[in-house]
Amino acid sequence: MSVLKVGDKAPLFTLENQRGEKVRLSSFKGKSVVIYFYPKADTPGCTTQSCALRDASDEFAGLDAVVLGISPDAPSRLLKFDDKYSLGFELLADEDHAVAEAWGAWGEKSMYGKKYMGIIRSAFVVDPKGKVSGVFYKVSPKDTVGKVTKALESGH
């Protein structure tokens, strides 16, 4: 698994959002982008993380940043998640986890002694030129906003 570092060029992607529309990372050039990978919509940790990012939306807008959430869920499940919590940002379906792999957010996990492959909860900040300016692997749902905000502020 390759891991990204600050200064790396952000791996480009095109994924379907919760409304079935194609979203390209390249279409956000000129803006900062907060990208977070989460294991499964509407589970406790993912809900905590997503709602914290929703609650910081004014702060992110002030830093000229948009938020993109990525999980292996189908667009229909993402739409239910967005509707239930009024998240208000793009949730992207990475059903074959190819984008998560490119970003180093897919790997071996273990639960109750069983090993399996899955999403490694991660957050990234991409600067307006398409370079990675913040990398947070195994980020806590409660720490995501603080860490990405600090990376956004230091990039301005």
List the CATH number of the domain containing 26.
3.40.30.10
3-state secondary structure of 28: helix
Residue 43 belongs to a domain? yes
- Rounded to two decimals, the pTM is 0.95
Overall domain count for the chain: 1
Residue 6 belongs to a domain? no
Residue 95 belongs to a domain? yes
Judged against a pLDDT cut of 80, whether residue 33 lies above it is answered with yes
- Domain housing 48: 14-154
pLDDT for residue 156: 53
Average pLDDT of the chain to the nearest whole number: 95
Kindly provide the residue ranges of all beta strands, DSSP E only, lying in 2-121, ordered along the sequence: 14-17, 22-24, 32-37, 65-71, 90-93, 106-111, 114-119
Residue 146 belongs to a domain? yes
pLDDT for residue 1: 57
Tell how strand 114-119 and strand 106-111 pair up.
antiparallel
Residue 105: closest CA among 139, 137, 143: 137
Which residues are annotated as catalytic? Answer: 46
Amino acid found at 122 = S
Residue 2 belongs to a domain? no
